[in-house]
A = this chain, B = another copy of it.
Amino acid sequence: MVQIPNTPAPTKPPAPRPVPTSADVARLAGVSRATVSYVLNNTSAVRISEPTRRRVHEAARELGYVPHAAARSLRAGHSRVVLMPTLPVPAGPLYSQFVHDFQGALSRLDYTVVQYGTSGLRGDDAARAWAELRPVAVLVPTPGIGPEGVAVLKRSGARAVVTLSPVPVEGAHALLLDHARVGQSAAEHLHARGRRRIGVVVPEEPGMEIFSGPRLTGAREALRGTDATVVELRLAYTQKSAAALAARWADLGLDAVFAYNDEYAMLLMRALTDAGVRIPEDTAVIGADDLMLGRLLRPTLSTVRIALPSGSELAALVDRAVRNPGAEPESHPLSGATVVHRESS
């Protein structure tokens, strides 16, 4: 944008050249818009002479023409967009990897994955916002949608809705990912190893309750009716917070702790060790998510492994569902949660 000095032009915005359209290309090439469309899309049903093709391509290049996706899909009546609302919290390593794989697999199937940030909206409002994009499929990663939400999406043309959450939702394919099971498995493991006063870490970071709530509840339920007790421990992901918690450890009198996930477990283990608490002798520690770091710590960290579906499996499911929208929604239990016992417990 070169400022031309001698133009006084008080209200002359930088003359935003209008975006070139296919009509502009047609004009420049001296053909019709139809021909432009045929050429640029390599329409096989129509044969266009080589000289014309060349002229069209030439004109398009010269103008820097780029087709307008919205116009195209408006006309087509459908898109190949698979929508994925972004999580309300920063993604962890597990989820990042999953999204990456899923995206790769879907793009190999010629879909386009769009992660769409809808902070603020919840429930059916969110579903409506997603539906405005007319995605061909939607993958909802948290329990952020109900039956009406699914209905809205389907009425708006979504051929498949897949939820990644603990409970199946009417009308949607379900990947049953039960965070309560994580807490339950952890608690059962600790109880089986003879622990009776069990702390459960609940992250203080906002938004995290979506995952931490069920994990806590699951632990509680697993120990209901036993001689063990559960103590909720609020912990922020800072060394300060961990040190403060460790300082009251003796008072808490806990002999075990389920630390929400491996990262919080690492943080807490460090603070406990520094405070002279021996792991696992004084207090057993178990995390979750089976991150690499748990294998690298000393003592190695026991954890609850929770298997996300492989990206390509899920992509295949989505593709199947899109091709055959009539089919009954599938429900896939995600192989629950398995305890990986290591040294810390």
Q: Are B326 and A132 in contact (CB under 8 A)?
A: no
11 A–B contacts from the bound complex (CB under 8 Å): A19-B155, A64-B155, A66-B132, A70-B73, A74-B74, A86-B100, A93-B93, A103-B117, A107-B119, A115-B116, A293-B293
Q: Are A19 and B237 in contact (CB under 8 A)?
A: no
Q: Are B116 and A112 in contact (CB under 8 A)?
A: yes
Number of interface residues of A (CB under 8 A): 63
* A213 at the B interface (CB under 8 A): no
- Closest chain B residue to A69, Cβ basis: B132
* A45 at the B interface (CB under 8 A): no
Q: Are B90 and A96 in contact (CB under 8 A)?
A: yes
* A67 at the B interface (CB under 8 A): yes
Give the CA-CA distance A74 to B70 in the complex, in Å: 6
Q: Are A117 and B112 in contact (CB under 8 A)?
A: yes
* A20 at the B interface (CB under 8 A): yes
* A17 at the B interface (CB under 8 A): yes
**Within A1-40, which residues are at the interface with B (CB < 8 Å)?**
1, 13-14, 16-17, 19-20
Q: Which residues of B contact A99 (CB under 8 A)?
A: 90
- Closest chain B residue to A100, Cβ basis: B90
* A335 at the B interface (CB under 8 A): no
Q: Which residues of B contact A86 (CB under 8 A)?
A: 100, 103, 113, 115
Q: Are B103 and A119 in contact (CB under 8 A)?
A: yes
Q: Which residues of B contact A20 (CB under 8 A)?
A: 155
Q: Are B134 and A120 in contact (CB under 8 A)?
A: no
Within 8 Å by CB of A326, from B13, B128, B151, lies B13
Give the CA-CA distance A267 to B291 in the complex, in Å: 12
Residues of A within 8 A of B (CB): 1, 13-14, 16-17, 19-20, 64, 66-74, 86, 89-93, 96-97, 99-100, 103-104, 106-107, 112-120, 128, 131-134, 151-152, 155-157, 237, 239, 263, 266-267, 270, 292-293, 295-296, 325-326, 328
Q: Are B239 and A267 in contact (CB under 8 A)?
A: no
Give the CA-CA distance A133 to B69 in the complex, in Å: 5
Q: Are A114 and B117 in contact (CB under 8 A)?
A: yes
Besides A103-B117, A267-B296, A293-B293, 11 other A-B contacts (C-beta < 8 A): A1-B326, A13-B326, A19-B134, A66-B156, A69-B134, A89-B100, A92-B96, A103-B119, A107-B119, A112-B117, A239-B296
Tally of this chain's copies: 2
Q: Are A96 and B107 in contact (CB under 8 A)?
A: no
Expressed in whole angstroms, the minimum distance between the Cβ of A170 and any Cβ of chain B is: 12
Give the CA-CA distance A119 to B67 in the complex, in Å: 19
Give the CA-CA distance A69 to B118 in the complex, in Å: 15
Q: Are B67 and A132 in contact (CB under 8 A)?
A: yes
Give the CA-CA distance A288 to B14 in the complex, in Å: 43
Give the CA-CA distance A99 to B120 in the complex, in Å: 16
Q: Which residues of B contact A263 (CB under 8 A)?
A: 292-293
Q: Which residues of B contact A91 (CB under 8 A)?
A: 91, 96, 100
On whether A152 and B19 interact (CB within 8 A), knowing A14-B325, A115-B115, the answer reads: no
Q: Which residues of B contact A266 (CB under 8 A)?
A: 293, 296
Give the CA-CA distance A334 to B338 in the complex, in Å: 43
Give the CA-CA distance A2 to B137 in the complex, in Å: 21
Q: Are A296 and B270 in contact (CB under 8 A)?
A: yes
Within 8 Å by CB of A292, from B68, B100, B116, B267, lies B267
